[in-house]
Structure 1
């Protein structure tokens, strides 16, 4: 049977070499890197580092999820208990242990190599996410090769590499970038087996590569995020079974041996956590976390359609082409490749839209399917020529809107326009304008390449320069720095009114989270103790201090902004002078 997007005979025709425009040099770079697999892999790896490293080392811990994951890993390293998952004294059983093991391995390695204070360097906890993001880009290329020519697979990977959402997740020490890697590995392996069956190729009993990748990635995904991977795989298989009226190709995945192998990888920890906590992990993970998402969990509820609206931002710069490619993709829906990719995409997207709890990163594992579908339409030169083509203006609109909003935010927060970010923002605007200006159906490729470069400069401006400069957004860092400058040994702290996980991560696991009265009691229990009292808790603190005869003085005051709660804060650091 014909493949979804026939290979090299399709693609945008080359224009005469004498013509030079803002996209011609980028096209020549693409010509060069697409000439061999080694070049393509090296190029995409370099692109991953260029996109994801700005701000990777300099952005402080982000509340709340990143700081919670990092603190739980930090406690594993401190206690040597790599089975249980805790945040201070509370169990943290929402996710399995996979990402914590990966983060702990990085921190332990850095400490063994002599890196000082490794346990409080947040970038070490982000390394698994960086590996996951770059791995996801490379696996998008690998998966794309099952549907596209090598050039198209590189373009699909570049769309993922430059996407807004993956750039966010690559810099956060949590599960989603690594989940994306495992999902692409699973779906890419399954795609190769399915398409071979569709082409009528005989099953090769000696071929174990795809089944091995499939079942190993399934196991890692379950250890990282729980059974979510089963939804992506199960809904895809069900959709394909309905369309093909057959699931005979599933036997090529060698399910009998594969399931045993997967269980051998995942069961040891699940047995260990059951022996340690009984039913607590499973009730918290499956009932308290997964099933509760059917309702509006943690104030993240939103109506159906929210992911569709967010898509035009989170999938930028691929989003404009996705809109233009939609009619062609739908016309090709019965071709085997498009059928598989749509089975990957549509059923799971519907589930995410229906579920009440909505966070932007939930749909990230579906984006590689969209990237490959879009490039398939681009290769065929069947992008829409109607009103959808006006979406090319979005390539310029996003950098322009981002620059305006970021500048207003910087002036409002730090009273400074952060001039260092301006050259990068200006470059993003120029390349975004080129992408819009160059666009037509025959030159969509070079428009996309200019948009990718615009995204690169946006990444440098926002993550590399602007965000690290907004210090009031990260008061935990300033509080921890103030405690490190005290002149006593082993300072202990209690916080009232400001309880963000980043504070615990930066100031120590022993930091008590209490109220104003509790902070006063804590301060009176010994020397080298500090009360971190937010302005709204100061009255309660002062009343209790007076009641117990506590004498204290204020070492310093930290003013900032708690973006998790959306309000300004002011934290006074008090030190005891004894009791009367």
Structure 2
């Protein structure tokens, strides 16, 4: 009976995770800000065959290591469908993270604790939101969590040397996914404190030669990418490849941390991020803190390692000026794991249940309010969706009905579960919202958010024989183009791109067309004769022919300054 119940509870968790995280897979294209960039790089890996040095258009892309792009390109090679391939790494990584959290909770405490930890993580808004996006963060969260899993299996359940080596190796894979993967190794610091103070259960075994194979496994994982990249870059004799190597190894890692150049936030930024993004799990924090303190006073090393590592991650990212909410996402799984042993007792408390009821009630009010506002034609909603996103009124009405339906579902869930089980209402509301987001939101927003609709319209306008050039373009324009497109650099100044584009167009003026972002239009372009191609991703795009050009395309001082400002804004958005 127990095994049967355990099996049902596990498969319920697995099926719900697959439903919540996988709803909508294959129903949309990459959306900004980062998704089109990575998908474009992966696509160019497949088409160009250069998997070691990623390209964005004609330029090398050195902002991030290529692990995610490799995974996307590999899945495309298997499935032959970009809509599936670009999201599949995030889905599998999120499922893997949940599996690690569940099994670690089961081994450190009980099977029930493992289930509570996984459920808390699955419905934490920050985790699910990122898991449904094709960005690097879900993958690095998985590798960091896997590293934590291996280290904790050894430190708290060991000695288990194979898991110790796996933890270090996974941290190395995290580094070649995103440099912060090395932060998984901070788990050793609270373990060292516990060992020095003589806390039970935790031992580092530093005098055992097998301990030092861990760092070797870490270096081995990093060298899987680093060694062939460095050898190829140095042997090529190419200035471009050497610049790529220097940028990704130095500027995008240590220098970016020490001298953050974007996303500036105050030191307390994450103290606001966690309460807003880690709901509903974070709502239990006022009751969890005294309970954790009691367990720490009893010298329970499980809480010291989990909570100590969580606080170290938050502290590490609070020091530099540049901060984004995703930076501390890797610490969320360990937070949920430390919270899970307390949840059975906390969920029996009336005050905790009413806090959860308030959370669901606020969700219901927000969904109903937004839905009704869109259905009744409130200008604030429609202007943002129609003008900024290029969505027509038919779609805003559909979104309105979705909002009303979800709000009603939230109210029904509150009424159906009763005062002692409002946590089920929260789970039901969030599950339905994420499923609706995938199955309904993806198709509604896709054409405008991915630029697919814009590029299809442009393709129809210029005809099958027209040649396309892109100026001040975004990755989604090149990715969604229905034909090979000519670009004139990506990071180059827009006036220089426009000047080169005009020269390219003049060679065959009757068949070559330029798609230009409105902010990059100079005085040489006659807007009275040029065509407004459409709106996508909060940007207006113009279709320019050779006859629309009058005079030299030279930026004035004011236009050059405006371009620098817009480049900075684009960088902050990305």
TM-score range, shorter chain: 0.7 to 0.9
The corresponding residue for 2:332 is: 367
Q: Does 1:249 align with 2:218?
A: no
Q: 1:579 to 1:59 in 2, by over 3 A?
A: closer
Q: 1:103 to 1:504 in 2, by over 3 A?
A: same
Of the structure 1 ranges 499-508 and 529-538, higher mean CA displacement relative to structure 2 is found in: 529-538
Using the alignment, how far apart are the partners of 1:382 and 1:474 within structure 2?
A: 40
Question: How far apart are residue 208 of structure 1 and its match?
Answer: 4.9
The corresponding residue for 2:533 is: 557
Which structure has the higher relative contact order (CA within 8 Å, separation 6+)?
A: 1
Using the alignment, how far apart are the partners of 1:282 and 1:512 within structure 2?
A: 23
Structure 2: gaps spanning 5 or more residues: 235-241, 375-379, 386-390, 551-574
Using the alignment, how far apart are the partners of 1:214 and 1:350 within structure 2?
A: 22
The corresponding residue for 1:574 is: 544
SS in 1 for 2:107: coil
Using the alignment, how far apart are the partners of 2:348 and 2:91 within structure 1?
A: 33
Q: Does 1:139 align with 2:100?
A: yes
| 1:100-139 mapped onto 2 (5 Å cutoff) | 100-111=69-80, 118=81, 121-139=82-100
The corresponding residue for 1:240 is: 191
Question: How far apart are residue 534 of structure 1 and its match?
Answer: 3.4
Question: How far apart are residue 481 of structure 1 and its match?
Answer: 0.9
Q: Does 1:393 align with 2:358?
A: yes
Q: Could you tell me which of 487, 496, 506 is aligned with 2:471? A: 496
The corresponding residue for 2:143 is: 182
The corresponding residue for 2:163 is: 210
Does structure 2 conserve the Cα–Cα contact (< 8 Å) formed by 1:192 and 1:210?
A: yes
The corresponding residue for 2:275 is: 312
The corresponding residue for 1:224 is: 177
Structure 1: gaps spanning 5 or more residues: 1-30, 112-117, 198-202, 546-551, 563-568
Question: How far apart are residue 129 of structure 1 and its match?
Answer: 0.8
Q: Could you tell me which of 524, 527, 538 is aligned with 2:506? A: 524
Q: Could you tell me which of 161, 179, 194 is aligned with 2:122? A: 161
Deviations 1:536-564 (A, max 9, x none): 44453426x9xxxxxx97576213442xx
Using the alignment, how far apart are the partners of 1:164 and 1:79 within structure 2?
A: 38
The corresponding residue for 1:82 is: 51
Q: Does 1:351 align with 2:326?
A: no
The corresponding residue for 1:277 is: 233
Does structure 1 conserve the Cα–Cα contact (< 8 Å) formed by 2:124 and 2:281?
A: yes
Question: How far apart are residue 399 of structure 1 and its match?
Answer: 4.5
Q: Does 1:482 align with 2:457?
A: yes
Using the alignment, how far apart are the partners of 2:347 and 2:403 within structure 1?
A: 37
The corresponding residue for 1:71 is: 40
Deviations 1:398-429 (A, max 9, x none): 45335545765753314433244146512552
The CA RMSD over aligned residues, in Å, is 3.5
SS in 2 for 1:299: coil
The corresponding residue for 2:382 is: 411
Does structure 2 conserve the Cα–Cα contact (< 8 Å) formed by 1:147 and 1:372?
A: no
The corresponding residue for 2:342 is: 377
The two structures have a TM-score, normalised by structure 1, of 0.78
Q: 1:337 to 1:500 in 2, by over 3 A?
A: same
Does structure 2 conserve the Cα–Cα contact (< 8 Å) formed by 1:431 and 1:451?
A: no
Q: 1:323 to 1:519 in 2, by over 3 A?
A: farther
Using the alignment, how far apart are the partners of 2:119 and 2:44 within structure 1?
A: 37
SS in 2 for 1:417: helix
Q: 1:291 to 1:263 in 2, by over 3 A?
A: closer
Count of residues in correspondence between the two structures: 511
Question: How far apart are residue 131 of structure 1 and its match?
Answer: 0.7
SS in 2 for 1:376: helix
SS in 1 for 2:267: coil
Q: 1:427 to 1:275 in 2, by over 3 A?
A: farther
SS in 1 for 2:74: helix
Q: 1:124 to 1:316 in 2, by over 3 A?
A: same
The corresponding residue for 1:506 is: 480
SS in 2 for 1:146: helix
Of the structure 1 ranges 187-196 and 458-467, higher mean CA displacement relative to structure 2 is found in: 458-467
Using the alignment, how far apart are the partners of 2:54 and 2:276 within structure 1?
A: 34
